[in-house]
Chain A
Amino acid sequence: MDLVPPIASIIMGFIMGYLGQRARMCFVGGMRDYYLVKDTYLIKGLIAFIVCALAGFFLFQFASAAVKTFPWFLDGGAVFAKKWKATGVTATPSPLLPVPGDPITWSPKAWAHILLAVLGGFGLGFFCCIAGGCPFRQHIMAAEGSKSAIVYLVGFALGAVIFHKFIAPLVKAILA
């Protein structure tokens, strides 16, 4: 059993939790503050995250074999094509497909993924904005003693079970 991912992720989580608490980091809060009061403190964090992730992936592709599919649109879903062939689906890989591997990303149809991205993204932005912060911020607030955020985390965990029990089969049946 490869125990590197759990150990690495708990250490990464510790660093993120500590720095996130000090910096009041929130990914949805940046956009919200910019719309509401034109405050750019948090949105700088979001932009810095994307830029550093891009730079990190670009640099690490020379150092590690795990990032070999980095410019994802150049690959264009060739990883998918192998999987489809095994299940008898004939489809052309498209650069509009998301990165593979998620249980929800099963379909060879690009429009289905774009529809899911628009629907899910809209719901994510709307509900996070009402709830007062992105899931990461809610974890930090729970650790700071907010009872609302602790109850939010219970609902968050329950949502995963509801999704995999009821919503995912439904979505697959509708978009299949």
Chain B
Amino acid sequence: MRMTAAIAGGIFGLLGAAGQAFFHIIPPPAYGICIACHMRDLVNWIAAHIYPIYGLKASGALIIPGGPVSYNFPLLTIVGILIGAVIAAHVNGEFKWKTMRVWWQKPLAEFFLGILVMISALIFGGCPIRTALKAGYLDITAIIGLVAIGVGVFVGCQALRKLT
């Protein structure tokens, strides 16, 4: 069967809900799938275990900044995605070293874009995937955020038209 985005999106949505319902990925609620939050949990967990001062609060307790579910051991979604995508790319012969051609997607520019995307995502409280998951959880701020993402993409498209 050919995998289309609609089928994949439906499976992801069910996985996100099932992660909270059956696999203890709570608290916070609607946390089953998130790229930015799970990356943040992983990075902060590692950083706080290498440099304990990073997670130390004034009271002396080690508090790792991130979702409470990741205090003891972080969620490994990022690792799973990378392994799965590498295997999929190799099995289907789509792996190839390459660099984007346009200047704003060259590696140095992408480095700063990565920082900016992560900061925006954490200000809002989730990457686009978790925004959609929270919208499915009927969180009104997430629905507002989804509209704001749409506006941001629209302005970004105008900028892309100017750049090209």
Q: Which residues of A pack against B, CB within 8 Å?
A: 1-6, 8-28, 30-32, 35-36, 41-42, 44-57, 60-61, 63-64, 66-67, 69-73, 95-105, 113-114, 116-132, 134-136, 138-140, 142-164, 167-168, 171
Contacts and interface: CB of A to CB of B under 8 A. Distances in A.
Contacts of A117: 124-125, 141-142, 144-145, 148
Nearest to A147: B99
B89 interface: yes
Contacts of A55: 13-14, 17
A2 to B, nearest CB: 6
Interface residues of B, number: 126
Contact of B39 (A18, A50, A56, A157): A157
A102 B83 contact: no
In the complex, the 9 A-B pairs of residues with the closest C-beta atoms, listed nearest first = A13-B80, A125-B152, A101-B28, A17-B84, A155-B114, A159-B118, A120-B124, A56-B17, A121-B148
Contact of A9 (B38, B106, B108, B157): B38
A12 B147 CA distance: 27
B65 A164 contact: yes
22 contacts: A9-B23, A14-B80, A16-B84, A17-B82, A18-B85, A19-B3, A22-B3, A23-B3, A31-B149, A54-B136, A55-B14, A56-B13, A99-B134, A101-B28, A120-B121, A121-B151, A123-B117, A127-B156, A134-B128, A143-B88, A145-B97, A148-B99
B73 A101 contact: no
Interface of B: 3-33, 35-40, 43-44, 47, 65-70, 72-89, 92, 94-100, 104-108, 110-129, 131-142, 144-157, 159-161
Nearest to A26: B5
B132 A123 contact: no
Contact of B69 (A5, A10, A125, A149): A5
A13 B73 contact: no
B123 A116 contact: yes
